[in-house]
Amino acid sequence: AQSVTQPDIHITVSEGASLELRCNYSYGATPYLFWYVQSPGQGLQLLLKYFSGDTLVQGIKGFEAEFKRSQSSFNLRKPSVHWSDAAEYFCAVGGSNFGNEKLTFGTGTRLTIIP
């Protein structure tokens, strides 16, 4: 069965500092990987996705993530966070036959930004 682990429940960083959010997945075949962000009281917005090709993917809002097959990881990074990045972040995994399969989400990491 597919699964996603986000080991950090809550992370606090200073504005302007770098950020890395961890994500480990379990999937028996080639995974499709996603990062979503949820601002308070809102639905989820896609930050970036990995399907194939270059293992470093760029997303919106200056985020990037790197797929490492050997470590089953897909960590999210940003070189310099802004106060508006405070939100909850979800990693998710789906299969290459994702068309009619479900997407499995991690439990989320809440990001707090301090001035």
Partner 1 sequence: DVKVTQSSRYLVKRTGEKVFLECVQDMDHENMFWYRQDPGLGLRLIYFSYDVKMKEKGDIPEGYSVSREKKERFSLILESASTNQTSMYLCASKTGGTGANVLTFGAGSRLTVL
How is 55-67 classified by DSSP, letter by letter? SEEE-GGG-EEEE
42 binds partner 1 (CB under 8 A): yes
Q: Is the Cβ–Cβ distance between 90 and 9 less than 8 Å?
A: no
Residues contacting partner 1: total by CB under 8 A: 26
Window contacting partner 1 (CB under 8 A); options: 39-47, 58-66, 68-76, 77-85: 39-47
103 binds partner 1 (CB under 8 A): yes
- β-sheet bridge partners, residue 10: 110
Enter the tokens of residue 111: 């990001």
Other CB atoms closer than 10 Å to residue 44's CB: what's the count? 18
46 binds partner 1 (CB under 8 A): yes
47 binds partner 1 (CB under 8 A): no
Question: Distance from first CA to last CA of the chain, Å, rounded?
Answer: 41
Place of tokens 């939100």: 87
Of 29, 54, 70, 100, the residue at the interface with partner 1 (CB under 8 A) is 100
Q: What's the DSSP call for residue 9?
A: S
In one letter, which amino acid is 33?
L
28 binds partner 1 (CB under 8 A): no
34 binds partner 1 (CB under 8 A): yes
53 binds partner 1 (CB under 8 A): no
Report the interface residues with partner 1, using CB under 8 A: 6, 9, 32, 34, 36, 41-46, 49, 51, 90, 96-100, 102-108
